[in-house]
Structure 1
């Protein structure tokens, strides 16, 4: 019993804590030795109305960097926002989630950003013992995961609080290795910025191709509809459905084509084999630019009941729940035959190539129409019938080819960024297993300029 009291700064009785794998390194620190400051995010309500300050959430941390927030908080005061504003060098750590594999996942902020962050994240600022990039590489590598899994509190929600962060073991790496890791992160970040730029170009091409360059929606908040043009046709009584801005989008699209006439919806349930391991794509795995982050393989018997859609390369997935409608992704060869949640619609088309279809569903006009068609109370979502009946513009073949080229270039650059981050994690693991000099030598043998 005396050993359990001495093991941590707080009393732990779970057997798993004492049976967990522990990082062994010749020079070790504790989390409390490297943290100058740890700060919780805001717990105030956020929505997608673009009113107030943008707030970063856990599903906007991808491949060790942050994405663009999709939700906003209008109740944050300027003083509160200033205290939560993200700054260069911040490390964000996922504090709690129902998926234990997400908890402890970390990202670094490499440029000042006018974003706040939500309460299921916390910010760590490091001292001279470790730079932010090395801390993130360590937390996201397998040895960091061992420490996170050991120190987390597990229940319906797994929790890795700031108190637990302060107690984890962190190797004390020398300056040369830390500079090498920082260099890898900087190169990866530049690849990511270039990838974002290519995708934005694809979005601009799409908007031009469907004629929305100078479009301004109707801002009138009042609409008068007779029964014959409202409930009798739509079955909808919610006033927001009939806002004039939605009519202006439909009129501008100006086509009788719909999602149902243009696309195939793949909604057949798939029964996973209990002993087969599957890649399982969750909402949090989908990046802002249509990419899918690294997903874990899960045995069929351990998959949640909602993991019932099998996807094929070339399809796209579109989130059905309001607030996450921007979570659309392209299924690349890497995720062929993976499973995804029934919370996604799985689509493909013989008339629109996959890359263009992705950009189309992420575009402002289609996002507005998706939002219009959502319904429900506890969980607001777009139904299958509403989706299939939604107007979809036609796009010329040449424009599709140009958009597809940009998206492919974006994905190639993003893959390069991910490769560099994986090398950073691997060099941390190599340094722990061997030594730092050998780790840097190994990296040079990989053809990486350190």
Structure 2
């Protein structure tokens, strides 16, 4: 790599509001000044585009889902969308000030993070998430669509041009922060109208297919739930209970949760409506690999051939995050030879246990050791099971969550179910229901695959449109 030397006058440093004196700050600004001079495109800052920037607020009183609205925190923000997993959501009062709520087409981003690499990931709000409340660590951008399209803007905010500028964030004692003042200075390269309209159209389609994919999975879950017909509120649950020693010896799991009557009786209730089969009988299970943090590359530093490294936090809305925090070299990928492919089910075995996803054709990834890959055996055919049906069963609270909590133990400080994933029992519904559920889930992941394809197209279109 050639050494690059730039010169900055002392007078330029002294007039900066941030009083910055780090090389990266001036190098990035210098690079963008060069780009702006060479570019034939219009270049404007968010301030020049009259963007309205505000933040959410700290709320410490959480409510039930039925009483409140989702409270969006930094961890919920993913590129182009919001993580809607129940395990990642909390709810707050509907009566909070409108200024900390979101409207359709608002853009939101985390303004504080542990590292620059994770800072200011941007999402756009769709109709379903309108009215959600923002935490104090999130910035909201609302624009006049007659001046700049929010759909182009969210595409730009997921490009390397934007990520390079977030490197200018202020470094605090323990975290980095992109202040409103710095956000206002973010430069937006605006292409010719025809290109802008193409990107805008693709983003609108991304938002649409994302919502349709989630809706199809929710519809399949509803069908599954109605077929099970289990009312947990009517199942006996005791605070105090006793267990025969013989039961402990038989199962070799000496934890209160394993014998908790609510969990045990729920499984018995399911067994009264349909047969159950353990995962170990119908699927092969294989864990991923640890590669060592020394081999991690962040998005800005990665090489073209680097492979996304998927950790437990990267399973979002039943798919793998398209832009995870870390990437691994192609050499390590080739050396590991992980046997994973499109259609495989991924299951979080540790940490956020029970989160589940299906790989699409767009996903070429490495999975860490805390994630397990599930693939159906030939024995599954006698039950008419499909990967889509197994995936869906593992998203059902009455099926998977209860069994995960039964089998969870703490190893040092990390929760895990170890190899007990093989013992999780899957309800076998009638063939008609299995086929209906399979069809819906298959359609959902075809949409997810289309969404990821479009996102890749937009990213490449923006990244390569401007000569950097």
TM-score by length of 1: 0.77
Question: What is the SS of the residue equivalent to 2:277?
Answer: coil
In structure 2, the residue matched to 1:388 is: 422
In structure 2, the residue matched to 1:147 is: 165
Query: Quick one: distance in 2 between partners of 1:188 and 1:63?
Result: 11
Q: Which sits farther off after the overlay, 421-430 or 15-24?
A: 421-430
Question: What is the SS of the residue equivalent to 1:264?
Answer: strand
- For residues 248-284 of structure 1, give each alpha carbon's deviation from its aligned partner in whole angstroms, at most 9, with x where no partner exists: 3211332563233333221364668969833311344
- For residues 360-379 of structure 1, give each alpha carbon's deviation from its aligned partner in whole angstroms, at most 9, with x where no partner exists: 21122212321343333985
Question: What is the SS of the residue equivalent to 2:53?
Answer: strand
What aligned pairs does 1:31-46 form with structure 2 within 5 A after superposition?
31-33=46-48, 34-42=50-58, 44=60
**109, 125, 129: which one aligns with 1:109:** 125
What aligned pairs does 1:301-340 form with structure 2 within 5 A after superposition?
310-313=338-341, 314-321=343-350, 324-325=352-353, 327-335=355-363, 338-340=365-367
Query: Quick one: distance in 2 between partners of 1:402 and 1:359?
Result: 12
Structure-2 change in CA distance of 1:108 and 1:271 (3 Å): closer
Structure-2 change in CA distance of 1:341 and 1:156 (3 Å): farther
Q: Which sits farther off after the overlay, 407-416 or 285-294?
A: 285-294
Count of residues in correspondence between the two structures: 424
Structure-2 change in CA distance of 1:52 and 1:234 (3 Å): farther
Q: How far apart are residue 106 of structure 1 and its match?
A: 0.8
In structure 1, the residue matched to 2:368 is: 341
Q: Which runs of 4+ in 1 moved over 6 A?
A: 45-51, 173-177, 272-276
What aligned pairs does 1:17-56 form with structure 2 within 5 A after superposition?
17-20=25-28, 21-22=31-32, 23-24=35-36, 25=39, 27-33=42-48, 34-42=50-58, 44=60, 52-56=68-72
Query: Quick one: distance in 2 between partners of 1:413 and 1:196?
Result: 9
Structure-2 change in CA distance of 1:387 and 1:425 (3 Å): closer
- For residues 113-140 of structure 1, give each alpha carbon's deviation from its aligned partner in whole angstroms, at most 9, with x where no partner exists: 3432344432222346423222211111
Question: What is the SS of the residue equivalent to 2:242?
Answer: coil
What aligned pairs does 1:110-129 form with structure 2 within 5 A after superposition?
110-111=126-127, 113-127=130-144, 129=147
Query: Quick one: distance in 1 between partners of 2:464 and 2:363?
Result: 28
Q: How far apart are residue 359 of structure 1 and its match?
A: 1.3
TM-score by length of 2: 0.75
Q: 2:197 matched to 1:168? A: no
- For residues 212-260 of structure 1, give each alpha carbon's deviation from its aligned partner in whole angstroms, at most 9, with x where no partner exists: 135445264434223427755554454x554433123211332563233
Question: What is the SS of the residue equivalent to 1:257?
Answer: strand
Query: Quick one: distance in 2 between partners of 1:393 and 1:81?
Result: 45
Q: 2:245 matched to 1:222? A: no
Q: Which sits farther off after the overlay, 19-28 or 147-156?
A: 147-156
Q: 2:95 matched to 1:87? A: no
Question: What is the SS of the residue equivalent to 2:47?
Answer: helix
Does structure 1 retain, via aligned residues, the 8 Å contact 2:220–2:392?
Answer: yes
Does structure 2 retain, via aligned residues, the 8 Å contact 1:288–1:326?
Answer: no
Question: What is the SS of the residue equivalent to 1:28?
Answer: strand
Does structure 2 retain, via aligned residues, the 8 Å contact 1:260–1:388?
Answer: yes
Query: Quick one: distance in 2 between partners of 1:156 and 1:37?
Result: 24
Q: How far apart are residue 72 of structure 1 and its match?
A: 4.4
**1, 5, 8: which one aligns with 2:14:** 5
Query: Quick one: distance in 2 between partners of 1:356 and 1:117?
Result: 35
Q: 2:366 matched to 1:358? A: no
Q: How far apart are residue 52 of structure 1 and its match?
A: 5.0
Question: What is the SS of the residue equivalent to 2:427?
Answer: coil
